[in-house]
Structure 1
Amino acid sequence: MAWVHQDKCAIVGVGATDYYVRGKSWPRTINDMAAEAIMKACADAGISHRQIDGFAYYSTAGAGYLDKFDTASLMETLGMPHIGFSATLTSGGGGCVGAIGLATAGLMNEDCTYTVTLMALQQLPQHRLGVVFGAAAPSPENSFLQPSGLVGPGHLMSMLTRRHMHLYGTRPEAFKEIVQATRANTHNRPKAIRKNPLSDEEYWNSPMLADPLRRLDFCLETDGAVAVITTTTERAKDCRHKPALVHACAHGGQREWGRAFAWMGMPDPYFASAGHEFTAKRIWAQSGLSAKDMDVALLYDHFSPMVLMQLEDYGFCERGEGSDYVLSGKLRYDPATGGKVNGGVPVNTHGGNLNEAYIIGMTHLVEAVEQVRGTAINQIADAEFALASGGPAALPVSSLILRRD
């Protein structure tokens, strides 16, 4: 059955600051960067910032890891006269694309007319994600994690990765291919942090941080802000660019995955997965589509093996076949063939969290919009459908399909 809100809303504006290596954005502030991203998104949409009357956040309205967005403060900063909608998804980066579904809820309920989803990130020394669990207050989960040396997300993901290798014979060469394939997409991107081609030697010599994950298997640590504006499809006709229609959107997940990410208390096969099977099934049911119908996939890549596991969860390949799928080159983008290689679907044509910038998933959303608009730097020929994901992370995770108008 088609999603009740299918194609009734659209993303009409995207905006972003420059991307900075961690800590290099100072003395800028979170609100300063957020305001710049919002103003650029408004300019992209061809509307005034005074027309914005809704906020659809994720990560519990988090701005980075210890900061929070405050709607009233943003209204004062930008001179917004009023709002009719302000809401957030819980969890962290798992909600980045699900927040667009939240925006559609406000729009369809006629609570607002133009809704902003944004993230601003500033990683000062006390704000680093890499040791977030080690620095957290004691809790039932942390009392297990901290004495075990599991002080950051990389340690947790390394355990899921090792289990996948044990069950399915997944090869580390597949992780290298994910990093190299997406790095190859940044050489022509002005804002990308990592642009140089990645050799085999450089990858293998990258320090091992959480076996089997090397430093280059970890996402970048960057500062910056990204904002997108969603409105109704009818209203989008008056905006500057071709709208990116919100074709399907889901957030949530299975209880087993929620335990796994920060507790490690789940059974196979969920342990060796990305936790996206639940939302994947929902968007395929909402849309009547499947993985083979996607023209491009923007998969949340905070750690390279999670791309491989998402390919399995979304049905690009069968469970346990991710390693072979990746090593066949099907993630690659090749402009000479219109984008696709070996019958695959190009993944993270913007370079992703691993190579362009890490703004907790928002750069994937921007790339999905530009692909269906037909304005992407690494454009897929005749792209009609773009898949974007939020997470793997503590629940909820999320899935989104954008469609060309």
Structure 2
Amino acid sequence: MPLESLIVDMAKKSRSAARIMAKADTNIKNAALLKIADAIEADKADIQAANQKDLEYGREKGLSPAMLDRLAVTDKVIQSMIQGLKEVAALEDPVGSVTKAYTRPNGLQVSRVRVPLGVIGIIYESRPNVTVDAACLCLKSGNAVILRGGSESINSNQALASSVSKALLSVGLPGEAVQVVPVRDREAVNHLLKQEELIDLIIPRGGESLIRFVAENSRIPVLKHYKGVCHVYVDETADHQMAVDVAFNAKVHRPGVCNAMETLLVNRKEAAAFLPLMAEKFKAAGVVMRGCPETMKIVPFAEPADETDWPAEYLDLIVAVKVVGDMDEAMDHIAIYGSNHSEAIITADYSRARRFVREVDASVVLVNASTRFNDGGQLGLGAEMGISTSKLHAYGPMGLEELTTTKFVVFGDGQVRI
């Protein structure tokens, strides 16, 4: 079958499956997730055998040890998938919940009810566990999903999708509710991005280049975040020990993730007292500080920062440091260089905290807490599809609720419009 026809056929099957998933009972969806967990356990040998083919392919292609590690489906990864399925099964089903209800003067009863999005296309890189994580979230929220993983993980993804489809059929749900694009050809992505009449939403997960490609070539709405240039601002009223602890955690806990702090902004009134404390702790952890001229006067071992440092997403033990005159200058800096991801203020002044929260534009704004908390699990969503820095229709971590939308439901008793 020609590649374009293959993708169109998959999209049509997904559309049909989505109609069935949208009306599936919560108990059936939960049973399906638990059956998928059982199937993955039962099929572990086959899944790992398929994964070995991908690892061999990856070695031949010269993938780095870090990339091969992301690609490997170890026993630990299998157990993590199974645990994730059980956790999502235990979450509250958002489908059918009423977000608002009211009665109009003419007697019409109006409500807004959560409904699935329909068909979701997910384009991602390397990690085969995303196949199961994404599938279970889409299924629980009543959607169908088409998954296009990286070329290096095609065998693992197909093996996992086979286990998922088998489990879905066992509880009377359509196996086509979860499909994996079965070819490595990158042209498949272009065809997928043109199916605007059959696919409702595209979610890319991966590096900035992948996300930009998808956003620039899709006819379908895209939920995205390009990068995480996250800031912590140490206000003039900040408790210094709290600021040291929060900024250290934001940078060092996991420096290679999108919610790690990349730039530390320090109020000039506190810089001379605070920065030596911060610098000592950063230095002990091997963090390279790249500072503005004022920072370098206070921290002599800091490297000089230039204009390329302020918008940089290092994803490493490197932090840019800038001394600012006041909170307005800090917020101006964030407005210019931030990526609408995660922004934090350390302050003891409630009114200043409220102003920062109100005026800073980011998917998560934190007061006296690390940027590392911009995470679905940490914010109580239970699981997440990713973090969106788009504003339509989700902003921030995307859990089950963000994989739904709302429709109006109107009950009347014969009203006509005059």
The two structures share one fold, judged by TM-score above 0.5: no
Q: TM-score, normalised by structure 1?
A: 0.27
Of structures 1 and 2, the one scoring higher in RCO (CA 8 A, sep 6+) is 1
The structure where helix makes up a greater share of residues is: 2
TM value normalised by structure 2: 0.27
Rg larger for: 2
